[in-house]
C-alpha cells in the first residue's frame, strides 16, 4: 500500500510541475491513443449539474451512432465524489463525469481518469482556451478534462445602500473597509457583506487573488502554503472586518443568510458570476429589482481576480469506449447546441470562447442595475496566474471549515488557516506523500 501511495505521489508531482510553470503540451504521437474517426456505441454520463439530462438528450437527437445514458448523482458535498470514486475503482463507473476543479487533481493522481490527448481535437478545443483555464485541466504534459465554466470571483452590492452611505463602488480592499464604516454610520444594523465559514473555496479564491500559492512543488516534494504570507494578509484583513462588524459571520445559502439579504441586513455578496440567480431569488419579493449591481472584487492595489467555482468534463478509467466518450465531452464543453439545450441555468460564464453569449440569451439579467456580463468579462481578464490545486482538496476544505466553526465563539480567521495548514500537511504525509512547508 505504501509503495502505491508513493507512486501516486510521484504522479501528482509530475502533474503539478506543469501547473507551476504554466506549461502544457500534448504527448508524442506514439504515446497518445488513436481517436476513432467515427466512433459509435452506448456510453454513460454522470453529473449533478442541472439540465444535463437535456444536453444528453440533445446530443442523442443530433446523431445516431453514439447513445448517451444519463444519470443524475448528488453533488460533491452530498457524496457524489465518493460515489464516483468508488464506482471507478470497482470498474463500473461512467464513461463521462463532471468534476469540479479543486477535486480534479485528486482523481488524476489516483489514476481514475483517462487523458484526453489523442482522443479530442486539440486545435479546436484546448488550444482555444486561455492559459488560466488550461492550467485547471492540464497535468504534466497531458490534458485530463475540458473545462465547462470559468467562474471569476465577483462582488455584488446594493447600489442604493452604497449611495446612502455616500460611497462609490470599492476598488480596493481599503476602499471596501472604508465603505463598510460609512455604511455603519448611516445604517448601524447593516453589514456590507458576509463571511461564510462553509465556503473554504472562497478563502482560497481570496488568497489566490492576493498572490498566494497554497500548493506547489519543491524538488520531489509537495510544498504546502495554506497559511503563506498572502493568505495571512487576507485572514488578518477579514478578521478586522469581522471585529468591526462590517461583515457578518454566517453560513452562505442558509435561512439566516437568505433572510438578511431580503431584509437589507446584509447588502453585499462576495461570490461569483453564478451568484446572480441566488441573489435574485432571495431578494425580488422584497422589491429590490434594479438595486443590485455586479462589480469586480476589490483588490490589493492592482487589478486581480481568481476563479471561484467551476466544473470540467472527464473520461473515467472505467470507460470501455473512450473515443465515443471524447466526442460527447467535446460536445458538452464546446458546442453552442449543448448550451442551448441546457436552457436557463442562471448567469453562466463559460470557458470556451463564444459560449457565454449563447447562455446569456437564456438568462434575463434585467433584474440587476448594471451590465453584469461586462463585469464578468473584465474580472475574467485579470485572473492571477500561477495557482494550482493540491492532490487532496478534501483535507484542506474540511480542516478550514471545521476551524471556521469556532469563529462565533472566539476563534480567529488566522488561527483557522494555521490549523488548515497543519491538517493539510499531516493528511498528505499520512497518504505517503513527501511534503514541505
Classify 435 as helix, strand or coil: strand
Output the CA angle 143-144-145, nearest 5 degrees: 100
Q: Report the pLDDT averaged over residues 274-287.
A: 96
Whole-angstrom distance, CA of residue 173 vs CA of residue 298: 5
The C-alpha cell at 416 is 483557522
Q: Which residues of 133-158 are buried (b: 16+ CB within 10 A; e: fewer)?
A: bbbbbbbbbbbbbbbbbbbbbbbbbb
At 231-264, the pLDDT tens digits run: 999 999 999 999 999 999 999 999 999 999 999 9
- The pLDDT value recorded for residue 36 is 53
User: Residue 345 — very low, low, confident or very high, per pLDDT cuts 50/70/90?
Assistant: confident
What is the maximum alpha-carbon separation in the chain?
68
Whole-angstrom distance, CA of residue 17 vs CA of residue 304: 23
Q: Report the pLDDT averaged over residues 345-352.
A: 94
The C-alpha cell at 327 is 466526442
At 356-368, the pLDDT tens digits run: 999 999 999 999 9
The C-alpha cell at 50 is 442541472
The C-alpha cell at 244 is 468591526
Whole-angstrom distance, CA of residue 45 vs CA of residue 28: 29
Task: Tell me: pLDDT of 13 over 70.
Answer: no
Q: Do residue 394 and residue 349 come from a single domain?
A: no
Q: Do residue 172 and residue 286 come from a single domain?
A: yes
Q: Do residue 258 and residue 334 come from a single domain?
A: no
Task: Tell me: pLDDT of 339 over 60.
Answer: yes
Q: Is residue 362 part of a domain?
A: no
Q: What DSSP designation does 334 have?
A: H
At 165-183, the pLDDT tens digits run: 999 999 999 999 999 999 9
Q: Do residue 136 and residue 176 come from a single domain?
A: no
Q: Do residue 289 and residue 429 come from a single domain?
A: yes
Strands (E), 220-355: 221-224, 247-249, 268-272, 292-296, 311-316
Q: Report the pLDDT averaged over residues 270-282.
A: 97
Q: Do residue 413 and residue 297 come from a single domain?
A: yes
Whole-angstrom distance, CA of residue 30 vs CA of residue 151: 36
Q: Report the pLDDT averaged over residues 91-118.
A: 96
Q: Is residue 158 part of a domain?
A: yes
Task: Tell me: pLDDT of 285 over 90.
Answer: yes
Share of the chain above pLDDT 70, in %: 92
> If you count DSSP H runs as helices and E runs as strands, how many of each does the chain have, helices first?
17, 16
Q: Which residues of 267-280 are buried (b: 16+ CB within 10 A; e: fewer)?
A: bbbbbbbbbbbbbb
Q: Report the pLDDT averaged over residues 381-406.
A: 95
Please give the model's pTM, rounded to 2 decimal places.
0.91
Q: Which residues does residue 316 pair with via DSSP β-bridges, in sequence order?
A: 113
Q: Is residue 388 part of a domain?
A: yes
Q: Do residue 168 and residue 64 come from a single domain?
A: no
Task: Tell me: pLDDT of 332 over 80.
Answer: yes
Q: Which domain holds residue 108?
A: 2-150+310-354
- 256-260 contact pairs (CB < 8 A, 24+): 257/194, 257/196, 258/282, 260/191, 260/194
Whole-angstrom distance, CA of residue 250 vs CA of residue 235: 16
Q: Is residue 15 part of a domain?
A: yes
Q: Do residue 159 and residue 192 come from a single domain?
A: yes
Task: Tell me: pLDDT of 89 over 90.
Answer: yes
Whole-angstrom distance, CA of residue 28 vs CA of residue 140: 13
In terms of Cα–Cα distance, which of 431, 402, 427, 433 is closest to 415? 402
CB 328 within 8 A of CB 67: no
Q: Is residue 164 part of a domain?
A: yes
Q: Do residue 17 and residue 84 come from a single domain?
A: yes
CB 241 within 8 A of CB 179: no
Q: Do residue 241 and residue 320 come from a single domain?
A: no
Phi, psi of 226 (to 5 degrees): -65, -25
The C-alpha cell at 49 is 449539474
The C-alpha cell at 275 is 451568484
User: Residue 422 — very low, low, confident or very high, per pLDDT cuts 50/70/90?
Assistant: very high
**How many domains are there within the chain?**
2
At 23-32, the pLDDT tens digits run: 333 233 333 4
Whole-angstrom distance between the N-terminal and C-terminal Cα of the chain? Answer: 25
Task: Tell me: pLDDT of 154 over 90.
Answer: yes
At 115-148, the pLDDT tens digits run: 999 999 999 999 999 999 999 999 988 999 999 9
User: Residue 35 — very low, low, confident or very high, per pLDDT cuts 50/70/90?
Assistant: low
- The pLDDT value recorded for residue 5 is 41
User: Residue 437 — very low, low, confident or very high, per pLDDT cuts 50/70/90?
Assistant: confident
Q: Is residue 120 part of a domain?
A: yes
At 38-84, the pLDDT tens digits run: 899 999 999 999 999 999 999 999 999 999 999 999 998 889 999 99
CB 203 within 8 A of CB 400: yes
Classify 80 as helix, strand or coil: helix
- The DSSP H or E segment spanning 46 is strand 41-47
Q: Is residue 397 part of a domain?
A: yes
- The pLDDT value recorded for residue 54 is 97
Q: Do residue 270 and residue 298 come from a single domain?
A: yes
Q: Is residue 373 part of a domain?
A: no
- The pLDDT value recorded for residue 128 is 97
CATH number for the domain that contains residue 61: 3.40.190.10
Q: Do residue 12 and residue 113 come from a single domain?
A: yes
Task: Tell me: pLDDT of 9 over 90.
Answer: no
Amino acid at each position: 500500500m505504501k509503495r502505491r501511495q508513493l507512486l501516486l505521489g510521484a504522479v501528482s508531482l509530475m502533474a503539478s510541475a506543469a501547473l507551476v510553470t504554466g506549461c502544457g503540451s500534448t504527448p508524442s504521437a506514439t504515446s497518445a491513443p488513436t481517436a476513432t474517426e467515427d466512433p459509435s456505441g452506448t456510453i454513460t454520463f454522470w453529473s449533478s449539474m442541472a439540465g444535463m439530462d437535456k444536453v444528453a438528450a440533445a446530443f442523442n437527437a443530433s446523431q445516431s451512432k453514439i447513445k448517451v445514458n444519463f444519470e443524475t448523482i448528488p453533488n460533491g458535498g452530498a457524496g457524489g465524489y465518493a460515489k464516483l470514486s468508488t464506482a471507478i475503482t470497482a470498474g463500473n463507473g461512467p464513461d463521462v463525469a463532471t468534476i469540479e476543479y479543486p477535486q480534479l487533481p485528486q482523481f488524476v493522481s489516483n489514476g481514475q481518469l483517462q487523458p484526453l490527448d489523442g482522443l479530442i481535437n486539440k486545435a479546436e478545443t484546448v488550444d482555444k482556451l486561455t492559459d488560466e483555464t488550461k492550467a485547471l485541466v492540464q497535468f504534466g504534459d497531458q490534458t485530463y478534462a475540458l473545462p465547462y465554466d470559468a467562474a471569476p470571483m465577483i462582488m455584488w452590492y446594493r447600489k442604493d445602500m452604497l449611495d446612502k452611505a455616500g460611497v462609490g463602488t470599492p476598488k480596493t480592499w481599503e476602499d471596501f473597509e472604508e465603505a463598510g464604516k460609512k455604511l455603519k454610520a448611516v445604517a448601524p444594523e447593516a453589514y456590507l457583506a458576509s463571511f461564510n465559514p462553509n465556503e473554504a473555496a472562497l478563502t482560497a479564491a481570496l488568497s489566490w487573488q492576493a498572490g498566494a500559492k497554497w500548493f506547489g512543488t519543491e524538488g520531489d516534494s509537495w510544498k504546502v502554503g495554506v497559511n503563506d504570507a498572502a493568505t495571512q494578509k487576507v485572514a488578518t484583513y477579514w478578521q478586522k472586518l469581522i471585529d468591526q462588524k462590517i461583515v457578518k459571520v454566517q453560513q452562505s445559502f442558509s435561512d439566516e443568510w437568505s433572510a438578511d439579504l431580503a431584509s437589507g441586513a446584509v447588502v453585499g455578496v462576495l461570490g461569483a458570476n453564478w451568484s446572480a440567480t441566488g441573489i435574485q431569488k432571495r431578494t425580488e419579493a422584497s422589491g429590490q429589482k434594479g438595486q443590485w449591481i455586479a462589480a469586480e472584487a476589490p483588490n490589493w492595489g492592482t487589478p486581480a481576480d481568481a476563479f471561484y467555482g467551476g466544473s470540467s468534463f472527464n473520461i473515467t478509467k472505467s470507460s470501455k469506449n473512450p473515443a465515443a466518450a471524447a466526442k460527447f465531452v467535446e460536445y458538452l464543453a464546446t458546442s453552442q447546441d449543448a448550451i442551448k439545450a441546457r436552457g436557463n441555468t442562471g448567469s453562466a460564464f463559460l470557458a470556451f470562447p463564444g459560449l457565454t453569449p449563447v447562455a446569456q440569451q437564456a438568462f434575463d439579467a434585467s433584474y440587476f442595475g448594471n451590465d453584469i456580463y461586462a463585469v464578468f468579462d473584465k474580472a475574467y481578464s485579470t485572473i492571477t496566474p500561477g495557482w494550482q490545486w493540491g492532490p487532496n482538496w478534501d483535507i484542506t476544505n474540511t480542516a478550514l471549515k471545521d476551524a471556521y466553526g469556532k469563529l462565533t465563539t472566539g476563534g480567529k480567521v488566522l488561527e483557522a488557516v494555521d490549523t488548515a495548514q497543519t491538517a493539510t500537511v499531516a493528511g498528505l504525509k499520512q497518504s505517503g506523500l513527501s511534503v514541505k512547508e
